Structure 1
Amino acid sequence: MNDPETPVRWHLLITGVVQGVGFRPALHRLATAAHLGGWVENRSGGVHLALIGAESALQAFLTTLPERIPAQARIDSIDLLAQEPADPDAAPEPFLIRPSQASAAPRISIPPDLAVCPECLAEIMDPANRRHGYPFTSCTACGPRHTVLERLPYDRANTSLRHFPLCPACQAEYDDPADRRFHAESTACPRCGPRLNLTDDHGHPLPDPPLSAARRALAEGKILAVRGLGGYQLMVDPFNRSAIDRLRARKNRPDKPLAVMAASLEIIARYAHLSPAEADLLRHPSQPVVILDTRAEATGLPLDRLSPDTATLGVMLPTTPLHHLLFHPLPEDPTPPFDLLVATSGNPSGEPLCIDNDEAVTRLGEVADLFLQHDRDIIRRNDDSVAVALESAPQIWRRARGFVPDTVRLASPLGCDVLAMGADLKNTFALGFDDRILLSPHIGDLRAARSVDALESTLRSLLALWGRRPDVVAIDLHPDMQSSRLGERLADAFSVPLVRVQHHHAHALACMVEHGVEAGLALVFDGVGLGTDGLAWGAELLHVTPVDFKRLATFAPAPLPGGDQAVSRPVRQLIGRLASAHPELSPERLAALGIRPEEAGIWTEQVQRGLNAPLSHAAGRLFDAFAALLGVAPERITHEGQAAIRLESLARTWRDETESAPYRVRLRSEGLMLVDWAESFKWGIDALAMGAPPARLALGLHRGVAEAACRMAEHGAATTGERTIYLSGGVFMNRLLNALLLPLLRRAGLSPRVHGRIPPNDNGVSLGQALVAGRG
């Protein structure tokens, strides 16, 4: 039997989020305090730790290690590679941090970019500190990671910081085990680090001090393009209605909400309701944009221009030292502090985020008046993340800065390396290998050629970073998606098989995987997804496994006169439904909806003759048609989900709970359960004719959809015996629908599961695709 006090040497491989988070410095401090010798080094596969000491001391060290690592670190595994006796007579060895080593197959989780920590923030605000006013201050607990990393392992020489050699003072901090910047790879100061500059809209440098001149321009109503962590942002004074209107016009963003950045939680609370869960989400090191309900009594802020379609506001706190310095003036800067600033993505509408200085001036020169730039290269674009608090738990709606590129762990390894291409809206792609799936940052919509190019360049960059070549490529079942076409080309280039995955099957699995399962019952409600029968699906009850699914229930199909034109103009959808159900709108109602009688006649004939009037089962289209019926749908949709967002906002204004009975639906069976909404349209038309308030009817519809969804889930439970139901799809971003449906499901004896760290919308589809292809 080994003597537990006999000196031994253990070699261990630690994987997880263990690079770029101060993990090696923490090991150095802990091992030194425990009087253990050895060394630690970064490797592409994780962290290699050698420990020397009594076996009992090593065991105790490893037992308590997970409780003492840095806050942003995470240990996934500790594997003992080798153990050997140590010389009991040798002098004690000091614990060292050794130079990093590369390996062929990375297994680590790369840390995300992190918001500035309190210690660094205090330094930049302290006039006596050498980093006072320095906008690129960071340490092992904060700053850029993913967006500056060129190759693994995570060392300064492998990042875009390699162009900034450390000055003696920074080098001393980097080498000092007692300093919080000990081996902080992104550390810098005004003497040795990146610098700001300010240019006009043609890229010509301006002579004024960049920071104070940029703040003055914002106060004067100018549009400022700011190079942030993962790309450019467009910023204006949100109290200046004229500045907001100019930004919207130049960016071609007439209605889509504009996010604002706030100096503090206290300022946010003046304009929006703020729960403890939402405050925690805003303070989280990822610091996403959080969607909040606005206060009706708030004054001064033109909420109708910031978020025209709904009484909500996307808000975030300053994420970097540069953002804090834009809010708070340094000494001798006469521009007063800002409470709020608009901070929206720095891209022309529908195009990818700008990251390069010259590129930004070229693409945003007609949008921004000035450009606040810096000379630290952004290796990968990474937009702001978006989140809500759903039943006091975080739910990510756009997964980007602060959340990527962390991986999703699986219960068992995949059968092969997978590249999954996602969908065309809110695109992400996924890399699946071993027992994990890596989701890319939010790419965006793929309508523009630049967006497809951005998808391919980001994809090839991450494949190279991880040293992977896919064995199979997964794409959506719809052949005309840009992501599908690119996937076909890549499968051909890699000479690997192509797997087509049904859209809602992928949605369902994306929700299940984050709850640790890969099979079950799912409700998937969204706007569209090609079904296996060639029709547009989107209100599906599915019983799924990783390799197959059975469709158990859906909404009865409704025609879309004009196809995609009906999606852009919801009144077409309304007429399409009425052409099937036969009630007619009065000439007065048609006029109120902006529909000419001859238009209604043409659309009705299209439906009746089956001319370019494809059928859709989608729940999203149901909300569009009701929004049109109640007169809140826009004449033409300017951003995804706009009509449904307006309908939800209208429903939230009805406060009399006794006067919001659900719409009537009819359940019928044609091999699967069908939810028929024709009676609800008739009921809604009659109610409007009798003077019913549209808000009451809007809430009634939401109650009707919740009731229908619950009936579908109960049908699934009775058919399969499953009592857990997973909810996925963009329609479940409707917070009012969730508030109505989740209690109904629980009262029916079911256990609903919702998305958390994986978005319910198409941002998460690539995760499900990767699982299908990797298990097939």
Structure 2
Amino acid sequence: MIYAYRIIVSGIVQGVGFRPFIYRIAHKSGVKGYVKNLGGSEVEILIQGSNENVSKFFSLLFQELPYPARLENIYVEETQPSDFSDFIIMKSDKIISKPSVIPPDFAVCDECLREVLDPKNPRRYRYAFNSCAYCGPRFSMMYRVPYDRENTSMNTFPLCEHCKREYYDPNDIRRFDAQGISCKLCGPKLYLESVNGERIEDEDLIRVAGKLLKEGYILAVKGIGGFHIAALATDDDTILRLRERKRRPNQPFAIMVQSIEVAKKYVHVSEFEETILRSPERPIILLKKREPYELSKYVSPGLDREGIFLFYTPLHYLLLDEIPEKLLIMTSGNIHGFPMCRSEDCVRSKLRGVVDFILYHDREIVNRVDDSVVRVSNGRLMMIRRGRGYAPHWIKIPIKLKNPVIAVGAELQNAGAIGFDDKVIMTQYIGDTDNYETLRELEDSLMFFLSAYNLRPKIVIADKNPAYQSTYLAEKLADKFSARLIQVQHHYAHVISAAIDNGYTEGVGIAIDGIGYGDDGNGWGGEIIQFNLNEYKRTHHLEYVPYIGGDLNAIYPGRMLILFLSKILSKDEILEIYKRKNLFLKNGEKELKALLNITKEKKYLKTSSLGRVLDAVAAYLNICNYRTYEGEPAMKLEAVARGGKLLDLEIPIVNEEIKTSKIFQWLIEVEGKYSINDIAFTVQYELGRALIKTALKSNPKRVFVSGGAAVNEYILKGIMDNSEGIEIITPKRVPAGDGGIALGQVGFISFIEDGV
């Protein structure tokens, strides 16, 4: 008897050799029928055969699944047998049945790299763009779904006869029906030019580029999702020149290495961290430096961690091979505040004066995708930036949305999202949307996903801060789609994000970050929130202190120190500390007196921000007096705490406030008595202890910790060490910082949809 089944598979099933895999197991099992991509980027399979044939097919489906593929849903229905004489791969369809994951970009696999290094393989030896069904660019070169060659920027590179034979050979496991394949004869080409457009001709441009780098030149290098700026990581003069040109005086540069062994010369790599480094996602991971540190001190000044990542394309590997140390600075190819360049024209216009030469190729980057950044804090993997390798893999949530939604996220470190059914598709990392070009990138990315999933949103969600440019975009999108605009409090979105990322919809959250617009009009940032998806209650918060001057307080940490000291000291006492510690204020003593006069009037905004507490402590300890990049004072304070011991400090809880002013009384008392390491460690650890002690007053079953400061190792340690057996849950698939806000915004929507 012949049985027939129609199967719809969703997950990561396009761009990973899935259809060729189905073709092979169909022939192994003896079933007839077809496999094809559907317009929603899911895969449809029709099989027919005997009961034995069909059973074997399903067994092989799970036993031999390609390693990059991920099956999330399989829908099977019995149907009537048809007149099939064979099993074939059919042309992709435009009919949408069930949505599926758009494939992210994967690092080059070992097999492809072996071909690149094999002199006996003339078509692919030293070929910078080698890939197969299991590796290479996907999302970054897609114009539209489904993932077929004609829908990508590979459509301008027709396959040569050799690649065609591989593409149509069902026995070629890695290249049969693999959309992105190419070789020297038919694929993208490399070019090397000065930034002024003078073309360099050579048979091996990678060797020439390596020579230029060794001579101290700075290069823009076109990768998968955008341009990097490459420079020596061992030469002080080169790095200082790069910092001056990029106007980036202190912000750390990421280091790309050719192997784990190279990385281990400079940083500590645990077994867990090595697994992350080697993964197909290949993120930048912040690793603790070895002492003494042998790379230039100007790579990541004042920090105890270095951002390290392994090469993820053949081009990177070959370029690193030209450098004696087998490593290079590979930082984002942008100027401060602007998106990373993805075209040669952008480099020539915006990076003129920053780079000397451009090493590029002629394959278009369609979707800009920055490198992902992660770290391990107190044993937890924490995402800092979600980009290449992870985006745009969707996130399944424990609620079902009745209507499609757009969430525009926060303002800084932005990522937006669309939501439908029980899925949230986060955009790749976008950046700071207070810049117009970045805001446009956010809009373009959201529109790409709406088109890919054929959605028309009924709700648009934004942060409550009326000054955010992302809120302006939300208003524009709501008008465009005649959708309802809803605004969500920043820290509520943080804790919802942590909850639904882990499959929960209620609990107690600790939201700790810089500044977010609070329900009372003040700047929140150190909050204990009891919540479900219907409502929330701010039960406790860090002590309110004056917040006079807005963003100036973040740029000049000494201002926040003065504002904290105004809670506990007289004007003369504060002036004495100012002079003794030589605090840096933009307008000196005049500014100090103006701040203190305003505090007396009691007419000012207040803040409960944990980030501003850390800034003020960094200023008091003379660790950082001027912030040149987001989070610098807190990051340097965390670095100083490495190796510190716990001292005697208790931060009291009075009514609904955690009295952070006590920290500054204690700092004055212990100054000169203990090492700065011990003091820095104690402050951060005890902040964590106070936060969890306060959260436990609500008798929670579990506590969610989110916000930018949640990645701080010592605060997180203080929370986890003192949780009294209550489970501490942190985000796992999205950043704890503002890059995860959009997920929480989508989660908030579920309970109000009946009113739409």
Q: TM-score, normalised by structure 1?
A: 0.93
Pick closer, same or farther for the CA change 1:132–1:107 going to 2, 3 Å. same
Q: CA offsets, 1:52-106, max 9 Å, x none?
A: 112354245325523421111111111124422467xxxx832211111112576
Corresponding residue for residue 213 of structure 1: 208
Corresponding residue for residue 120 of structure 1: 112
Contact 2:277 2:285 (C-alpha < 8 Å) held by counterparts: yes
Q: Does 1:666 align with 2:660?
A: no
Matches within 5 A, 1:32-51: 32-45=27-40, 46-51=42-47
Of residues 91, 95, 106 in structure 1, which corresponds to 2:87?
Answer: 95
Matches within 5 A, 1:49-198: 49-63=45-59, 65-85=61-81, 93-104=85-96, 107-129=99-121, 130-179=123-172, 180-198=174-192
Distance 1:715 1:590 in 2: 42
Of residues 683, 700, 704 in structure 2, which corresponds to 1:701?
Answer: 683
Corresponding residue for residue 594 of structure 2: 602
Q: Does 1:678 align with 2:661?
A: yes
Corresponding residue for residue 333 of structure 1: none
Q: Which SS does the other structure have where 1:645 is aligned?
A: helix
Of residues 338, 343, 347 in structure 2, which corresponds to 1:351?
Answer: 338
Q: Does 1:523 align with 2:518?
A: no
Distance 2:185 2:667 in 1: 69
Distance 1:104 1:49 in 2: 14
Corresponding residue for residue 400 of structure 1: 387
Q: Which SS does the other structure have where 1:343 is aligned?
A: strand
Distance 2:708 2:178 in 1: 40
Distance 1:410 1:149 in 2: 26
Q: By how many angstroms is 1:352 displaced?
A: 0.4
Pick closer, same or farther for the CA change 1:268–1:254 going to 2, 3 Å. same
Contact 1:200 1:371 (C-alpha < 8 Å) held by counterparts: yes
Contact 1:560 1:572 (C-alpha < 8 Å) held by counterparts: no
Q: How many residues align?
A: 743
Distance 1:652 1:338 in 2: 27
Contact 2:104 2:393 (C-alpha < 8 Å) held by counterparts: yes
Q: CA offsets, 1:122-161, max 9 Å, x none?
A: 0000011120011110000000100111111111011110
CA RMSD, 1 decimal: 1.7
Q: Which SS does the other structure have where 2:613 is aligned?
A: helix
Corresponding residue for residue 224 of structure 2: 229
Which letter maps to 1:234? I
Name whichever of 9-18 and 53-62 sits farther off. 53-62
Contact 1:106 1:466 (C-alpha < 8 Å) held by counterparts: no
Corresponding residue for residue 332 of structure 1: none
Q: By how many angstroms is 1:191 displaced?
A: 0.6
Distance 1:664 1:607 in 2: 26
Pick closer, same or farther for the CA change 1:391–1:652 going to 2, 3 Å. closer
Q: Which SS does the other structure have where 2:33 is aligned?
A: strand
Q: By how many angstroms is 1:389 displaced?
A: 2.5
Name whichever of 410-419 and 454-463 sits farther off. 454-463
Distance 2:45 2:105 in 1: 25
Of residues 4, 9, 30 in structure 1, which corresponds to 2:4?
Answer: 9
Q: CA offsets, 1:409-435, max 9 Å, x none?
A: 123420110000001111000000122
Pick closer, same or farther for the CA change 1:69–1:110 going to 2, 3 Å. same
Of residues 726, 732, 737 in structure 1, which corresponds to 2:704?
Answer: 726
Q: By how many angstroms is 1:246 displaced?
A: 1.2
Which letter maps to 1:10? Y
Contact 1:382 1:401 (C-alpha < 8 Å) held by counterparts: yes
Q: CA offsets, 1:369-417, max 9 Å, x none?
A: 0001111011100000001134545322100000011001123420110
Distance 1:310 1:96 in 2: 57
Q: Which SS does the other structure have where 1:234 is aligned?
A: strand
Q: Does 1:281 align with 2:270?
A: no
Distance 1:472 1:105 in 2: 23
Q: Which SS does the other structure have where 1:529 is aligned?
A: strand
Q: By how many angstroms is 1:716 displaced?
A: 2.1
Pick closer, same or farther for the CA change 1:95–1:391 going to 2, 3 Å. farther
Which letter maps to 1:592? K
Corresponding residue for residue 592 of structure 1: 581
Matches within 5 A, 1:624-639: 624-634=615-625, 636-639=626-629
User: Which runs of 5 or more residues in structure 1 are unaligned?
Assistant: 1-5, 330-335
Distance 1:151 1:585 in 2: 61
Q: Does 1:614 align with 2:598?
A: no
Q: CA offsets, 1:516-564, max 9 Å, x none?
A: 1122211111111111111111111112222321111111101123222
Q: Percent identity?
A: 34
Name whichever of 171-180 and 60-69 sits farther off. 60-69
Q: Does 1:328 align with 2:329?
A: no
Contact 2:38 2:97 (C-alpha < 8 Å) held by counterparts: no
Q: By how many angstroms is 1:461 displaced?
A: 2.5
Q: By how many angstroms is 1:775 displaced?
A: 3.9
Pick closer, same or farther for the CA change 1:484–1:135 going to 2, 3 Å. same
Q: Does 1:579 align with 2:566?
A: yes
Q: By how many angstroms is 1:576 displaced?
A: 0.7
Q: By how many angstroms is 1:346 displaced?
A: 0.5
Q: By how many angstroms is 1:586 displaced?
A: 6.1
Which letter maps to 1:594? L
Q: By how many angstroms is 1:691 displaced?
A: 3.8
Q: By how many angstroms is 1:495 displaced?
A: 1.5
Pick closer, same or farther for the CA change 1:542–1:64 going to 2, 3 Å. farther
Q: CA offsets, 1:715-739, max 9 Å, x none?
A: 122xxxx221111000011112223
Q: By how many angstroms is 1:305 displaced?
A: 0.6
Contact 1:477 1:501 (C-alpha < 8 Å) held by counterparts: yes
Pick closer, same or farther for the CA change 1:157–1:99 going to 2, 3 Å. same
Distance 2:582 2:707 in 1: 29
Q: By how many angstroms is 1:29 displaced?
A: 1.2
Distance 1:703 1:619 in 2: 13
Q: By how many angstroms is 1:178 displaced?
A: 1.1
Pick closer, same or farther for the CA change 1:662–1:753 going to 2, 3 Å. farther
Q: By how many angstroms is 1:476 displaced?
A: 0.2
Corresponding residue for residue 712 of structure 1: 694
Corresponding residue for residue 3 of structure 1: none
Q: Does 1:760 align with 2:753?
A: no
Q: CA offsets, 1:604-626, max 9 Å, x none?
A: 11211235x42101111111111
